[in-house]
Amino acid sequence: MILTVTYNPAVDQTIQFDEPMRPDRVMRTDDSRFDAGGKGINVAQFLTALDTPCAATGLIGGFTGHFIREDMQADGVETDFVAVEDPTRLNTTALADGEEYKLNHNGPKVTPDIADSVVDVVRKRDPETVHIGGSLPPGLSTDAVDAIATAGDWRTVVDMEGSKLRQLDAQYALCKPNRAELGEATGADVSTVEGCAHAADAFRERGFDRVLASLGGDGAVLATGSELLFAEALNVDVVGTVGAGDALLSGVVAAWEDGADDATALQTGVAVSSRLVEQAGTAVPAFEDLATLRDRVTVRKLD
């Protein structure tokens, strides 16, 4: 079983406009949606849709926290959250005239001892794999992430911004930066696919058995220690990119749980991500044709 941990979840509001956004006028639209969000939240929803056993924990509070719990339960995701006093944050993505604008809250301020309650939940669940994803709310440091990774024998997967990845001290089974985060974490030139692959491979030495890097329209690379794999992105109509990296990671992890090899897992991740970006928001898309989509993904080894 996989347990996802989201220390700083969010309600994702996605609004679509038919015209460019302007600073001097009120923009109005009837096209909007709300989704439970945050990296671990997204991963738990995608894994559940992919029939991979999982549950979700983390910190939630207020009316937005209530929405997240209800939204996830409606999707069939098992939850075991820790309550905090202040409301969970609200993040807004505005899609207008082909542009994407993201406005994110920092999240509610918490005290470091709240991480102990999350560790208690993880110990109680005793999963085979723990996924820790997203930003940290004000009051928490990467010590809260290392605390989970060192609290049991589970495999720990981490997906955080590059500067935070550099601050981790524990050993992790996998980390999943995007291109910008990989460049931030390593200081390497990530302008090319080959540069990203070698940066991912070098970053393994900082305490990660494997590194999976999402490269947007270029695809994804996976550094395993024995090989560097590159999967090309599929040519699909992109509506929104929020949650695309989470979808990639979910597909890879779900495939590994089914016993797939690394190349097949990477194909699956790109297929899942491709299906997500064809819609606005982070709601779980339909995966009925996932096998056919996966077979269209080209994977090759890099030197």
Q: Which domains does the chain have, with CATH numbers?
A: 2-23+30-302 (3.40.1190.20)
Sequence-ordered alpha helix ranges (H) in 152-280: 162-167, 179-186, 193-203, 244-257, 262-276
**How far is residue 272's CA from residue 285's CA, in Å, rounded to a whole number?**
9
**How far is residue 247's CA from residue 228's CA, in Å, rounded to a whole number?**
21
**How far is residue 229's CA from residue 303's CA, in Å, rounded to a whole number?**
9
**How far is residue 91's CA from residue 68's CA, in Å, rounded to a whole number?**
13
Structure tokens at 169: 């001290």
Beta carbons of 78 and 56 less than 8 angstroms apart: yes
| Per-residue pLDDT at 145 | 98
Residue of 12, 35, 201, 246 marked catalytic? 246
Candidates 295, 286, 225; CA nearest to 212 is: 225
**How far is residue 295's CA from residue 1's CA, in Å, rounded to a whole number?**
27
| Per-residue pLDDT at 114 | 97
For the CA atoms of the chain, what is the radius of gyration? 18
**How far is residue 296's CA from residue 234's CA, in Å, rounded to a whole number?**
8
| Per-residue pLDDT at 210 | 97
| Per-residue pLDDT at 108 | 96
Dihedrals φ, ψ of 155, to 5°? -80, 135
Q: How many residues make up the chain in this entry?
A: 303
Neighbouring C-alpha atoms within 13 Å toward the C-beta of 256? 18
Q: How many CB atoms lie within 10 A of CB 274?
A: 25
The answer for residues whose C-beta is within 8 angstroms of residue 247's C-beta and 6 or more apart is 42, 46, 269, 272, 273, 275, 276, 277
| Per-residue pLDDT at 287 | 83
DSSP 232: P
Query: String of b and e for 39-67 (b: at least 16 CB within 10 Å)?
Result: bbbbbbbbbbbbebebbbbbbbbeebbeb
289 in catalytic set? no
Candidates 220, 234, 10; CA nearest to 102 is: 10
Q: What is the pTM of this model?
A: 0.90
**How far is residue 260's CA from residue 112's CA, in Å, rounded to a whole number?**
38
Candidates 143, 135, 64, 67; CA nearest to 106 is: 135
Structure tokens at 284: 């779980």
pLDDT in tens, the chain (303 residues): 999 999 999 998 989 998 888 888 898 888 888 989 899 999 999 999 999 999 999 999 999 999 999 999 998 999 999 999 999 999 998 989 888 888 999 999 999 999 999 999 999 999 999 999 999 999 999 999 999 999 999 999 999 998 899 999 999 999 999 999 999 989 999 999 999 999 999 999 999 999 999 998 899 999 999 999 999 998 888 887 778 999 999 999 999 999 999 999 999 999 999 988 888 767 788 888 888 989 999 999 998
